[in-house]
Amino acid sequence: MGVVTRLPDSLGLLSNSFSVLNALTSPVWIFDIDESRIYWANPPALDIWNAESLTALQDRDMAADMSHAVTRRLQQYQQDFERNQARFTEIWTLYPKGVAKTFKVFFSGIRLEDGRVAMLCEVESEYRGDPETLRSVEALLHTNTMISLYSPDGDVLYQNPAARASFPLNLIPYPYGFAAQEDYLRLKSTMDLHGFCQQTALMMTNHGKRWHEISARVCHDPVTGEQAILVSELDVSDLKMAEGKASYLAEHDILTGLPNRNYVLQHFEKQLQVLLSHGQEAALIFIDLDHFKQVNDSLGHTVGDMLLVQMASRLTDLMNPGDMLARLGGDEFVVLSTARHIETHAKSLCETLLERLSDPLVVSGSLIHPTLSIGVSLAPKDAKDINHLMRNADLAMYRAKDEGRNRYAFFTRDLTEAIQSRHVLENELKHALVNDQFEVFFQPRINAKNGCITGAEALVRWRHPERGIIAPGVFITLCEDCGIIDQLDMFVLHEAIRYQKIWLSQGWHLKISVNLSPRQFANPELAEDICAMFTELSANPADFELEITESALLGNDHKTIQMLTRLQDSGFSIAIDDFGTGYSNLAYLRRYPIDCMKIDKSFVQKLDEFEAITGLIVALAKVMNLKIVVEGVETEAQLAWLKEQGCHEYQGYLFSPPVPPELFASYRDRQEFRSMDRTE
């Protein structure tokens, strides 16, 4: 047929051309891109569109059934027509009145009466390719994956609509799309060596700088047969942002924003080694708030958190350039400082800290007079690595407490007495296990929708013959260090089974969750030992949930997965405990057989500041299709929030603290929510 490559600009000449186009036997129509309507069509085109008349076809709103991808493609055509009167040949599938028709179509630009650019569509023939080819054409049109074909010199040979939308200046060489030239050079060198490459890089796009996951492969241009490069790109900026937040959470304290213990063990150590390699000295300073537990007990955890935030702010203001500050957890802070005469400098800094941080402050209407106990360890005098410096500074800090608090102490070798005291406590712990001084308390887990008790978490307590009930935070780490944690955890599991079976025999079906220490995962027989206990006691694993912390997942990855899979296959549910305080990486966690995510209390108790981050964690759990349990719920507002987010269960002082099994059993008929006094 005679192809109309460019029509005149005036409407009069355009109208004169209609008589010529009407005589053509091939379908031809003009599409008004701005209005998404047919501007004009010849009789064969009316047949294609199943239209009774030109007026009827012009009245159709083509945008009604037009996808975003097609709209985007047509706008790209219009830009090309405006710029250089480009001409395209493509396979297009039309859907007149819902009937699919596929044609090979020539597209070119044509200017309408009002100066706007429309599109002249000329059908060469009906396309009768195989279904697979047609579907691949549609996929290239609609996919969000950016697919491009380049010459070895970087000239664009083809771009699908997604690539066009991301890189509108498609005539510039490909290397200029990289924000960093070294990323392109790395891709090119890998391509030269292997013929393909996969990498993540920051790209300059129409939407600003975006992270793209890039796959590139050497191939041949199907038109010329010459060598070409096929590139597919996927925008992963949102994922990078989520990973960035997770990485930040892994190394920062969510309450104060300071670096956390993970950060200290990695980055403080690196900084220390740099200082020592240059012959410099350093001081590691432990800072502990005196009687902080009394603040929590008398004024509440919210006031305690606010106090920590204010103390962190004061500490930050007192740091010298080059000092490193972190919060280890609880009420403990640590500083790595360097100076020429390190001992003199450390004394001066400690005196300043005691003076300035002890100034009274008002927190939520309460006047607080904070005092500090500070321990100092020097490098290289006392130790040459962070772990030993931390141990020494911790011992020095406890000396300051023993000497009356509100003071500082330097590590000295005679602190071996403190180590001896620690040995005494270790021996007491071992006797406690033999003499049945450990007890298991239970904290209810509540269905967020109906307020009913659905289960409980089993938590160990030490009933010391002289000091009374001791919380696990005081002795668990020591149990791990002295090698009795396996026995203690198995004792807790045994007691949990015993009480669960008692309550089940009374008609109360509860799911009990039990914590597993990260140290237990060093035992290759852990799964078998647990399963053997359940067999011996005739207990049902489906009635129990095993809780692990994120740190337990950072060891031998393959063996941990095998062990957890073995337990899950045996019927146990697996929960990730205190989520958000450890590694917190979605891609990492997805490798493990996890059924439940328990969100750490530090998130829900600071919703005013961290609602967005807490919401992100909830969203991650939903993506992984996990049961969501929120810990540390203390207020009605927190409960309302977690309900709104679609969390499944919660536990915390709002309903009940951990209580002895006898008191827990009294909750059996308590199915409506009511607050309890916060007592240990």
Quick: pLDDT tens for 413-448. 877 666 666 677 788 888 898 899 999 999 999 999
Q: Domain check: are 231 and 262 in the same one?
A: no
Q: For 363-386, what is each residue's pLDDT tens digit? A: 887 778 888 999 999 999 999 999
Q: Structure pTM? A: 0.46
CATH number of the domain encompassing residue 269: 3.30.70.270
* Distance, CA of 281 to CA of 352 (rounded, Å): 20
Residue 418 maps to a domain: no
The two structure tokens encoding residue 10? 């005036």
Strand-pairing partners, residue 210, are 203
Residue 220: is its pLDDT beyond 90? no
Q: What would the mean pLDDT of 463-468 be, rounded to a whole number?
A: 88
- In this structure, is residue 680 part of a structural domain? no
Least-confidence region, from 56-70, 113-127, 582-596:
582-596
pLDDT, the chain, mean: 83
| pLDDT above 90 (res 150) | no
Q: Are strands 208-220 and 196-205 parallel, antiparallel or unpaired?
A: antiparallel
| Residues 462 and 405 both lie in one domain | no
Distance, in Å, from the CA atom of 122 to the CA atom of 119, rounded to the nearest integer, reads 10
Whether 582 has a pLDDT exceeding 50, the answer reads: no
Q: Are 3 and 10 in contact (CB under 8 A)?
A: no
Task: Specify if 538 maps to a domain.
Answer: yes
- Is the confidence at residue 580, as pLDDT, over 70? no
Res 462: pLDDT: 93
Report the alpha-carbon distance of residue 649 to residue 647 in Å, rounded: 6
Calculate mean pLDDT across residues 353-364. Answer: 87
The whole-number pLDDT of residue 1 equals: 34
The answer on pLDDT for 626 being more than 60 is yes
**Residues paired with 102 in a beta bridge:** 93
Q: Strand, helix or coil at 226?
A: coil
Name the pLDDT band for 8 (thresholds 50, 70, 90): very low
Q: What is the DSSP string of 288-322?
A: EETTHHHHHHHH-HHHHHHHHHHHHHHHHHHPPTT
- Residue type (1 letter), 661: P
* Domain at 99, CATH number: 3.30.450.20
Within a domain: 207 = yes
Residue 213 clears pLDDT 60, i.e. is over it: yes
For residues 92 and 176, membership in a common domain is answered with no
CB within 8 A of 87, min separation 6: which ones? 5, 106, 107, 108
Query: b/e string for 380-413 if b means 16 or more Cβ within 10 A?
Result: bebbeebeebbbbbbbbbbbbbeeeebbbbbbee
Same domain, 128 and 157: no
Which tokens sit at 46? Answer: 């009316």
Across the range 146-156, mean pLDDT stands at 83
Are residues 641 and 337 in contact, defined by beta-carbon separation less than 8 angstroms? no
Weakest mean pLDDT among 31-35, 132-136, 320-324: 132-136
**CB distance 102 to 92 below 8 Å:** yes
Token pair, residue 338, equals: 């360097």
Out of 209, 235, 261, a domain closes at 235
Task: Please check whether residues 180 and 262 belong to one and the same domain.
Answer: no
pLDDT above 90 (res 504)? yes
Average pLDDT over residues 44-69: 84
Residues 100 and 131 in one domain: yes
556 and 659, same domain (yes or no): yes
Q: H or E segment at 287?
A: strand 281-289
pLDDT at 278: 92
Q: Which residue has the higher pLDDT, 209 or 145?
A: 209
Of 139, 168, 186, the residue at which a domain comes to its end is 139
Q: Token pair of 347, please?
A: 């004394």
In order of 152, 555, 676, the CA distances from 485 in angstroms are 62, 18, 32
Among 110-114, 278-282, 350-354, 526-530, the range scoring the smallest mean pLDDT is 110-114
**Backbone region of residue 279 per phi and psi (left: phi > 0; alpha: psi in -120 to 50; beta: other values):** left
Whether residues 97 and 165 fall in one domain = no
Share of the chain above pLDDT 70, in %: 86
Structure tokens belonging to residue 64: 């009604």
pLDDT category of residue 138 using cuts at 50, 70 and 90: low
Q: Which three-class secondary structure state does DSSP give residue 33?
A: coil
Compute the CA torsion angle 69, 73, 76, 80 (nearest 10 deg): 170
Pairwise CA distance, residues 576 & 621, whole Å: 11
CB 287 within 8 A of CB 356: no
Residue 227: strand, helix, or coil = strand
Say yes or no to pLDDT of 643 above 70: yes
Instruction: Assign residue 533 the CATH number of its domain.
Output: 3.20.20.450
- As a whole number of angstroms, the distance between CA 168 and CA 76 comes to 9
In this predicted structure, the answer to whether residue 25 has a pLDDT above a threshold of 70 is: yes
Q: Are residues 486 and 389 part of one domain?
A: no
Residue 417 lies in a domain: no
User: Residue range 235-248: average pLDDT?
Assistant: 76
Give the tens place of pLDDT for each residue, 261-301: 888 988 999 999 999 999 999 999 999 998 887 787 667 78
Residue 670 counted as domain residue: no
Tokens of 580: 């958000």
> How do beta strands 407-410 and 453-464 pair?
unpaired
Do 98 and 166 reside in the same domain of the chain? no
Average of per-residue pLDDT across 352-360: 90
In this prediction, residue 9 carries a pLDDT of 38
- pLDDT above 70 (res 172): no
- Rounded to an integer, the average pLDDT of 551-562 is 68
Quickly state the pLDDT bin for 630 (edges 50, 70, 90).
very high
Mean pLDDT throughout 656-679? Answer: 70
Q: Is residue 4 part of a domain?
A: no
Query: Per-residue DSSP letters for 449-514?
Result: TT--EEEEEEEEEEEETTTEEE-HHHHHHHHHHHT-HHHHHHHHHHHHHHHHHHHHHTT---EEEE
Whether residue 291 contacts residue 413, with contact meaning beta carbons closer than 8 Å, is answered with no
Please give the DSSP secondary-structure letter assigned to residue 631: -
Choose one of 139, 170, 200: the last residue of a domain. Answer: 139
pLDDT band, very low/low/confident/very high, at 5 (cuts 50, 70, 90):
very low
Residue 638, token pair as written in the block? 């927190």
Measured distance CA(114)–CA(10) in Å, rounded: 9
Residue ranges making up the domain that contains 284: 243-411
Q: Which of the given ranges, 227-231, 256-260, 497-501, has the highest pLDDT on average?
A: 497-501
Residue written as token pair 């740099």? 274
- Mean pLDDT across 136-150: 72
Residue-level pLDDT at 500: 96
Q: Which residues partner with 214 through β-bridges?
A: 199, 233
Planar angle of CA 628, 629, 630, nearest 5 degrees: 120
Q: Note whether 522 and 635 are same-domain residues.
A: yes
Higher pLDDT, 303 or 529: 529
pLDDT at 390 over 90: yes
Check whether residue 439 and residue 540 sit in a common domain: yes
Please state, in angstroms and as integers, the Cα–Cα distance from residue 381 to each residue in 126, 411, 488, 674, following that order: 86, 10, 38, 57
End-to-end Cα spacing for the chain: 91
Sheet containing strand 87-94, strands side by side: 37-41, 28-32, 117-126, 101-111, 87-94
Confidence of residue 512 (pLDDT cuts 50, 70, 90): very high
Q: Say if 416 falls within a structural domain.
A: no
Most confidently modeled range among 29-38, 93-102, 215-224, 546-555: 29-38
* Residue 555: per-residue pLDDT: 47
The SS3 call for residue 673 is coil
Give the pLDDT confidence score for residue 319 in this predicted structure: 92
Total number of domains in the chain: 4
Q: Given this model, what pLDDT does residue 661 score?
A: 95
